[in-house]
Amino acid sequence: MSFIPVNEPLLNGNEKKYLCECIDTGWISSEGPFVKEFEQKMSASVNRKYGIAVSNGTAALEVSIQALGIKEGDEVIMPAFTIISCAMAVTKAGGVPVLVDSDPYTWNMKVDEIEEKITPRTKAVMIVHLYGLPVKADEILALAKKYHLKVIEDAAEMHGQTYNGRPCGSFGDISTFSFYPNKHITTGEGGMIVTDDEELAKRCRMIRNLCFREDVRYVHDEISDNYRFTNLQAAVGLAQLERLDEFVEKKRKMGKYYTEKLRKIDGLRLPVEKTEYADNIYWVYGIVLDKNIQADNKTIQKLLAKEGIGSRTFFWCMHEQPVYVEQGLFGGETYPDAEYLARKGFYIPSGLALTEEQMETVTDKLVKVVNMLS
């Protein structure tokens, strides 16, 4: 029996050609010309003035947090249900993540619960769009204006998505992308920061590269890290970016296919296809088990694996991360809807190389597994 992996990227465009160009010219480090071209094309694609490519999406968040000047004791509001990169970027800087529960249907943070979390120490809000549908950004931008807060937009899962017709990656002070292989476009590992603020862009460039002082090299006023992005990564990124529209269309088709096949299956909460502000781009095809199914997502994952189907559970909540529990960071806080998603949510194979035949196998096996459980 052949195993269907949860993600397989599609690399059959100009990736090989541009990579060969790197080898032929000898430009393989972060100094190569593709890096600037990729920064320029990526930032332009989301109507931003500046792009700063970094080693991954987590690094993009870390650099952004440092560039915005978040420091000891500063609070940053973010969803309880997200990838730990968001919280880690803040805690590494000495800041404090302040959490908000999730909407059970869009899986994004409950925007109407943000205002009550604002304190005199709040410095920023992190907008994290999850699984293919954007957060209601306008409401957050209005709050940020009212309370003078910075806004960081984590658009790692939002390549090619729009919110009310405006590109994701264009909201707030600074936005970040990831190019991990399960994102809509990949560079293997990689990330990017985009912004319209020239000063912020300059700071990000400096932080990306060990905070070398501009006037004298090898002299440093600040601690950072090496977050550089290579010409090899940019070569793949440029080839991927050429096909972004096609990839988004393919993901939407995939989403439609799965939803049609699974709509009538009792016990599965499927992704919201569209809201008044966006059509889902299905970063991955996520499913949440309904209350009438006793099993959790780990059980489903094991049963699917036995049938030859790869799957992944959803993110684990920030307030339940052992490292933060040990530090007593979130006390006894609970976020019931976020906790439910973390226990009952999982995603099925949805990489860009997936074939329709494989999708049919995935749905057949999933239906079989769900029938066993209900």
Ligand X SMILES: *Cc1c(COP(=O)(O)O)cnc(C)c1O
Q: Which is nearer to ligand X, 191 or 351 (CB)?
A: 191
Which one of 39, 157, 173, 320 is in contact with ligand X (CB under 6 A)? 157
Structural tokens at position 230: 């290579």
> Please, which residue, 191 or 286, has the CB nearer to ligand X?
191
Query: According to the binding rule CB under 6 A, does residue 56 interact with ligand X?
Result: yes
Site for ligand X in 88-147 (CB under 6 A): 128
**Amino acid present at 287:** I
3-state SS, residue 133: strand
Q: Which stretch binds ligand X (CB under 6 A): 10-18, 52-60, 270-278, 326-334?
A: 52-60
Query: Which residue number, 157 or 320, has a Cβ lying nearer to ligand X?
Result: 157
133 or 370: CB nearest ligand X: 133
What is the spatial distance between Cα 87 and Cα 251, in angstroms, rounded to a whole number? 28
Which of 34/227 has CB closer to ligand X? Answer: 227
Where in 160-189 is the site for ligand X (CB under 6 A)?
A: 178, 180
Question: Cα separation of 344 and 346, whole Å?
Answer: 7
- Nearer Cβ to ligand X (81/330): 81
Q: Is the dihedral of CA 62, 316, 124, 142 positive or negative?
A: positive
Distances (CA, A) of 122 to 43, 74, 118, 144, 220: 28, 6, 6, 10, 29
Q: Which of 9, 32, 57, 169 binds ligand X (CB under 6 A)?
A: 57
* Residue 191 binding ligand X, by CB under 6 A: yes
- From 44-52, 95-103, 153-161, 225-233, span contacting ligand X (CB under 6 A): 153-161
- When asked if residue 63 is in the footprint of ligand X (CB under 6 A), the reply is no
Q: Which among 150-158, 165-173, 294-302, 343-351 is the span making contact with ligand X, rule CB under 6 A?
A: 150-158
Query: Which one of the spans 56-64, 112-120, 272-280, 350-358 is the region binding ligand X (CB under 6 A)?
Result: 56-64
Query: Which residues make Cβ contacts (< 8 Å) with residue 45, sequence separation at least 6?
Result: 167, 241, 244
- 190 close to 182: Cβ distance less than 8 angstroms: no
Per CB under 6 A, does 156 bind ligand X? yes
Minimum distance of ligand X from residue 312's CB (angstroms): 12
Among 154, 173, 320, 339, interactor with ligand X by CB under 6 A: 154
Q: Which residue is nearest to ligand X (CB)?
A: 57
Q: How many CB atoms lie within 10 A of CB 130?
A: 26
Q: Which long-range contacts does 316-323 make (Cβ < 8 Å, 24+ apart)?
A: 316/84, 316/342, 317/80, 317/81, 317/99, 317/342, 318/78, 318/79, 318/80, 318/81, 318/82, 318/84, 318/86, 318/87, 318/97, 318/99, 319/80, 319/99, 321/84, 321/87
Tokens of 260: 């049609």
Nearer to ligand X, 349 or 361 (CB): 349
Q: Is position 83 an interface residue for ligand X (rule: CB under 6 A)?
A: yes
* Residue 151 structure tokens: 């806004």
- The whole-angstrom separation of Cα 290 and Cα 350 is 21
* Range 237-266, binding ligand X (CB under 6 A): none
Q: Which residues bind ligand X (CB under 6 A)?
A: 56-58, 83, 85, 128, 154, 156-157, 178, 180, 191
